């Protein structure tokens, strides 16, 4: 059981470049999330997907798009990267039943630098 996996682990982009961060989970969870973590800010929700085929905006969605490819995979795309998107990105998943739906399982993170 790998849990939540993310690729790549590190990435450096130039301003204006695009890239896709990949996330996959093997726990058969319905809900998946993308967060960014910045110093002094904690984790902020970018987008989430409550079930396969649905996506919704979180607290800081601007500049990002997401795709829920299937139940296992949830990708985050930066179409035109900006230095303000330099951050550590975490993917998470959770079960849908009862209070367990709040107990999110996180991947190891992707450290992205935009120059």
Partner 1 sequence: DQQVKQNSPSLSVQEGRISILNCDYTNSMFDYFLWYKKYPAEGPTFLISISSIKDKNEDGRFTVFLNKSAKHLSLHIVPSQPGDSAVYFCAASDLQYNNNDMRFGAGTRLTVKP
How many residues are present in the chain? Answer: 115
- Of these, 48, 68, 76, 114, which contacts partner 1 (CB under 8 A)? 48
Q: 27 is written with which tokens?
A: 């726990």
Q: Are 103 and 94 in contact (CB under 8 A)?
A: yes
State the minimum distance, in angstroms, from the CB of residue 12 to partner 1. 17
Cβ neighbours of residue 46 under 8 Å, at least 6 residues apart? 34, 35, 36, 58, 59, 60, 61, 64, 66, 76, 89
Residues of this chain, 92-111, that bind partner 1 according to CB under 8 A: 92, 99, 101-109
Taking the least distance from each CB to partner 1, the nearer of 9 and 15 is 9
Contact between 43 and partner 1 by CB under 8 A: the answer reads: yes
Least distance (Å) from partner 1 to the CB of residue 113? 15
Q: What is the DSSP letter of 100?
A: G
Give contact residues for partner 1 (rule: CB under 8 A). 4, 31, 33, 35, 40-45, 48, 50, 56, 58-59, 90, 92, 99, 101-109
């Amino acid at each position: 059981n790998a849990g939540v996996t993310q690729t790549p682990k590190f990435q450096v982009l130039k301003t204006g470049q695009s890239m896709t961060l990949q996330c996959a989970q093997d726990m058969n969870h319905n809900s998946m999330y993308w967060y960014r973590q910045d110093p002094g800010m904690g984790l902020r929700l970018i987008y989430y997907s409550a079930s396969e085929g649905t996506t919704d905006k979180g607290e800081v969605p601007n500049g990002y798009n997401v795709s829920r490819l299937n139940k296992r995979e949830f990708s985050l795309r930066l179409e035109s990267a900006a230095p303000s998107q330099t951050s550590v990105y975490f993917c998470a998943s959770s079960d849908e039943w009862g209070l367990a739906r709040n107990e999110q399982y996180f991947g190891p993170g992707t450290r992205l630098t935009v120059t």
